[in-house]
Amino acid sequence: MSDEIAYATIAELGARYRKRDLSPVEVTQALLARIEKLDPILHAFVTLTADSALAEARSAEEALRRGDARPLLGIPVAHKDIYLTRGVRTTGGSALLADWIPDEDATCVQRWRAAGTVQLGKLITHEFAFGLQFPGHRFPPAKNPWNLDHIPGGSSSGSGAALAAGLVTGATGSDTGGSIRGPAAFCGIVGLKPTYGRSSRAGVLTLSWTLDHTGPMARTVQDCAFLLQPLAGYDPADPASSRAPVDDYVAPLGRDIRGLKIGVPRAYFLEEVDAEVARAFEEALETLRRLGAEVRDVQIPSLRGAHSFLLILMAEAYAYHESDIREHPELYGDVLRERILAGALVTASEYTQAQRIRAEICRETAEVLKTVDVLASPTALKPATPFAQAFDPEFAFPKSNMAPFNLTGLPTLALPCGFSASGLPVSFQLSGRPFEEATVLRAGHAYEQATTWHTRRPPV
């Protein structure tokens, strides 16, 4: 199959379907063949659902013949393997759930299914969205299509690898501390963490109740907008779900960004950033200026306490896993087991103080967002980490440019803005006010249309 089809956008596929010069069955068959060829190298998929995918593609063809105009009809997607899928194995990337077959779909799976997508299968995740699979694990980790010696980012590792390699058109991810945006940054794709409560978490394995987000991953900003549309909206099955009105995320993308105010919180986000990342970020800001945006520096002093994120994450992860890790500690990876058990050491006082710091970060960020429309920052401090470094048990959690937007719950879009000298992708992120995904997407789309980074393809 030609790369033209493997890397086609949702709009391109939809237009060709309706002109009858390409069909969902042809695309599904071609992608399944591509997966068969490349996935033994990449390990992006845990479970491939070829038979049901072809059946769904045939149903999509019938609907197209009847004039069905759903934008996602016949679009091939796959789900991160912490999303429950009825009748299809859901492992969480863990030996504990290696053979578990749920009897229900996650709400996001239901909504994409109702939108007419074709589900190709389940994509590997870091174990329980928290721990990279070390050598000897039940499941091998996904590899980065840009350089197989580097990780694709986590925890939505299979989603990032599959999209970059042209194995799927869209994928779900989850983001507790950057797990949508990290793989987007490392794999040269686009990932959107919506506002906390915008996209349902019902039927998605929990890592941290107050930090978890679900959202779409794709290769273009417009594709993310198409994929978000059916995901957004109230779900009574998720206690954090919001009743805020759902915007049209696709229609505003064509508008320019003249006069859009973009704030840059340098005092936190540019500290410890690799020189190549910083250079690419400054060039991205210059492009936004040329497009008519007003870019200026802003201050969020409380971000110096953003490390409190780890206390919240570890305490809540332990609370969720406490029973299973006591009964079956041997089924957890060694490093993940240590991380989760460390959460038992977080005191009530420490957890409370961390939430107080979080509240101050939220307050100050909200004040800044009264003066600007969007915040811009590098997504990751460095390009993708080598496996040799990631597999070192002493490799500590690095400072995170992504975690502050899990603390605040703000919508944040990661998109490519360059490459390192070694050929690895570089990314920046745009964050907006609560439930203003449309603004963030419009700004990202304007930048994307003015550059060509998203058109590059890895050497697989």
Q: Which residues are catalytic?
A: 80, 155, 179
Start-to-end CA distance of the chain, whole Å, equals 14
The Cα-based distances of 263 to 77, 273, 281, 296, 370 in angstroms read: 34, 18, 13, 5, 11
Residue 104 to residue 5: CA distance in whole angstroms: 32
SS3 46: strand
DSSP state of 339: H
Query: Among residues 380, 376, 447, 446, which one has the least CA distance to residue 412?
Result: 376
Q: At what angle do helices 308-327 and 348-368 cross, to 10 degrees?
A: 140
Reading across the β-sheet that carries 76-80, which strands appear in turn? Answer: 45-48, 118-123, 76-80, 170-175, 213-218, 190-193, 412-419, 425-432, 374-378, 261-264, 294-297
Residue 157 to residue 126: CA distance in whole angstroms: 7
Residue 119 to residue 83: CA distance in whole angstroms: 12
Residue 411 to residue 430: CA distance in whole angstroms: 8
* Residue with the two structure tokens 């060694």: 334
Residue 261 phi/psi, 5-degree rounding, is -95, 120
Residue 48 phi/psi, 5-degree rounding, is -105, 130
Residue 297 to residue 268: CA distance in whole angstroms: 11
Q: Is the dihedral angle over the CA atoms 164, 168, 169, 170 positive or is it negative?
A: negative
DSSP state of 78: E
